[in-house]
Amino acid sequence: MTIDPIDPRRVPRFDHGSRVPGWDEAVDLTKDPAEVPDPATTPVPDDLRAAIEAHIAKYPERRSATVPALREVQERYGWCTPEGIEQAACVLRLTPAYLISVATFYDMLETRPVGRNTIYVCTNISCSLCGADELYTTVRDEVGDDPEFNVRSFECLGACDIAPMASVNGTYVGPISLDEVPTLVQQVRDGAEPLPDKQLARRRSVDPNAASRS
Ligand code: FES
């Protein structure tokens, strides 16, 4: 990732120019062809198996449950570990390679170890115009090198009316002012609700003065 040497507070970019990671790693053609894991030699935790099978039951094709199955793996292990992918592939009766191709395509499926607490700060146009770049760097500074956090800038999260906003462990919060960041990060560390008054799900209206649901 490249940091702007002139203004290090600008949102850093990856070498391919985007603010989000890419999925441009080449396949390893020297490896043997992938096989569907053998259930006899692939132990799968009972609760993980049950969760994946429940997803499979919703679709006519087993492979349609690939993304929710990978989410189950991520929830359990914190990221899509090789072991978890092997287990999901065993239940889905697909190759691990197929699951890896899906996991590396979708931005919110992690294929490397990351912190369990995700804060996705939207830095797309509406949020950017409302100070998202500064919000992003402020959140990163507040989190520091705490390994329990995964802070990323993100493209439009579809909640432009509460810009600048972030998705905090899946909860949409905004508009977030810079002086609220320490509180927000501490709430996440404490396992508390992030900025309850700023949560999109509790709002009756984008009007910040409108009543909110508890
Ligand atoms: S630009 Fe930030 S939610 Fe749309």
pLDDT per residue over 40-61, tens digit each?
999 999 999 999 999 999 999 9
Q: How far apart are CA 127 and CA 180, in angstroms?
A: 16
Give the list of residues 6+ apart from residue 183 with CB closer than 8 angstroms, or none.
195
The arithmetic mean of pLDDT across residues 15-26, rounded, is 65
Q: Is 162 in the pocket of ligand 1 (CB under 6 A)?
A: no
Chain region(s) in the chain for CATH 1.10.10.1590: 46-105
Ligand 1 pocket test, pick from 120, 126, 133 with the greatest ligand atom count within 8 Å of Cβ, gives 126
Chain region(s) in the chain for CATH 3.40.30.10: 117-202
Q: Is 65 in the pocket of ligand 1 (CB under 6 A)?
A: no
Q: Tokens representing 50?
A: 């049950």
Q: What is the DSSP letter of 34?
A: P
Per-residue pLDDT tens digits for 89-116: 999 999 998 999 899 888 889 998 999 8
The CB density around residue 103, as the number of other CB atoms within 10 Å, is 23
| pLDDT confidence bin for 202, thresholds 50/70/90 | confident
pLDDT at site 13: 73
Bridge pairing between strands 166-168 and 117-122? antiparallel
| pLDDT confidence bin for 14, thresholds 50/70/90 | confident
Is a pLDDT exceeding 60 seen at residue 213? no
Q: What is the dotted CATH code of the domain comprising 117-202?
A: 3.40.30.10
**Mean pLDDT over the full length of the chain:** 88
C-alpha dihedral, 37 to 38 to 41 to 47, nearest 10°? 70
Q: What is the DSSP letter of 144?
A: T
Q: Is 121 in the pocket of ligand 1 (CB under 6 A)?
A: no
Q: Is 159 in the pocket of ligand 1 (CB under 6 A)?
A: yes
C-alpha dihedral, 167 to 172 to 174 to 178, nearest 10°? -30
Q: Is 127 in the pocket of ligand 1 (CB under 6 A)?
A: yes
Q: How far apart are CA 155 and CA 157, in angstroms?
A: 6
> Quick check: 167 and 120 in contact, CB under 8 A?
yes
Q: Which atom of ligand 1 is nearest to the CA of 125?
A: 1
Q: What is the dotted CATH code of the domain comprising 46-105?
A: 1.10.10.1590
Q: pTM of the predicted model, to two decimals?
A: 0.73
> Quick check: 100 and 31 in contact, CB under 8 A?
no
